[in-house]
A and B are shown apart, each in its own frame.
Chain A
Amino acid sequence: MVIQTQVPKQCEDCGSISKGIFCNLSSPELSELSEHKVENTYKKGQNLFIEGNPTYGLYCISKGNIKISRMGENGKESIVRIASDGDVIGHRSIFSESNFSATATAMEDTHVCFIDKKYIVDLVKEKPNVASRLIEKLSRDLGASEKKVASFSSKNVREKLAELLLLLKESHGVKEGELTKINLKLTREEMASLIGTATETLIRILSEFKEDELIEQSGKSLFIRNNDELMRIANITM
């Protein structure tokens, strides 16, 4: 059984190339990378890797969305972040640990390119611009994690939900008239997990946001209506 895909085979032709860590490679270098990578399309629910299992490379998301989660001590899954087009995942573990520190699961049909650890380590040693982009990404990841920790400790659920909606608007927002559609299929449980609250609480606050005309819902899709008010609730200043 062969999975057909329309995604281009060459790294140079990938729509996400400018967002990743390989964007400064020359054309011949990208060709070499293209020949080395292994690409597959993951269906919704399929795992790229599982927390605690051996690392052996990193994954570059060409198209789609991947849920990164960790298991808490209470056995409950906690979503750490959503990775999408152009994102690289699994990179931290190959440099710092021998096992993956989280689980990565496809949220929809997602096209992913895998590059083995040895190739990446050699590339980082030989190409300073790749090392530089990787360090930039690690720094951004660290900054985002620190921001999330600060947000978790200082903000109430309403504020955290407003912040989440704004983040999703930034990463997955698609303008539709006066509204911005969050173009990502997230269940209420997954949204609740992202902000560390119970699903029932999330549903209640979402209803309040709808009543206050901050957001709209059509089917399973959420639309941002009042960006300024959400920013005020989330205590975010421009």
Chain B
Amino acid sequence: MNTIKLDQHEIHTLGNLFEERVFNNSTELFYEGHIPHVGYVLTQGNVVLGKKRKVKSEIMPGTVIGVKELVTNTPVSYYARIYSGSKVFIIDRSSIKSLNIEKDPVIRQVLDKIIGP
């Protein structure tokens, strides 16, 4: 699984583009072998990554998951589970397409980092 770590400035930049959403209930963000419906940037809380029902790692706030797989239509090799109370930016395909024409260098830099140039 491709995970990308953002710094505070990059998270702040994304915060101007996306609304922070709260997961009130724990759930799988995506299952092993699935193409993510959307990508996520964890801003607060806990997300674990695992394989075959075994937790392999925990990601920290500021981490991006699922975006590259969404863009390339690639199934993920891990599941991701988010715990209640956690907050994320949700990055969907439409947003990626509309932001892909963004010319602001600061925004462009962050977008290139999470979706590739």
Q: Which residues of A contact B (CB under 8 A)?
A: 1-3, 36, 38-40, 42-43, 46-47, 49-54, 56-57, 98-99, 114, 116-119, 122
Closest to A3 in B: B33
In the bound complex, what is the Cα–Cα distance between A119 and B93 (angstroms)?
9
Chain B binding surface, main DSSP class: loop
Q: Is B94 an interface residue (CB 8 A)?
A: yes
| Distance (whole angstroms) from the CB of B66 to the closest CB of chain A | 11
Q: Is B24 an interface residue (CB 8 A)?
A: yes
A-B contact pairs, 22 of them (CB 8 A): A1-B75, A1-B77, A3-B33, A3-B34, A38-B37, A38-B73, A39-B35, A40-B31, A40-B35, A42-B31, A46-B28, A47-B27, A51-B25, A54-B22, A54-B23, A56-B21, A56-B38, A57-B37, A98-B21, A116-B94, A116-B95, A118-B94
Closest to B94 in A: A118
Are B77 and A53 touching (Cβ within 8 A)?
Answer: no
In the bound complex, what is the Cα–Cα distance between A52 and B85 (angstroms)?
11
Range of interface residues on B (Cβ < 8 Å) = 20 to 34
Chain A positions within 8 Å of B94 at CB level: 36, 116-119, 122
Chain A positions within 8 Å of B38 at CB level: 56-57, 116
Are A2 and B37 touching (Cβ within 8 A)?
Answer: no
Chain B positions within 8 Å of A57 at CB level: 37-38, 92
| Distance (whole angstroms) from the CB of A68 to the closest CB of chain B | 15
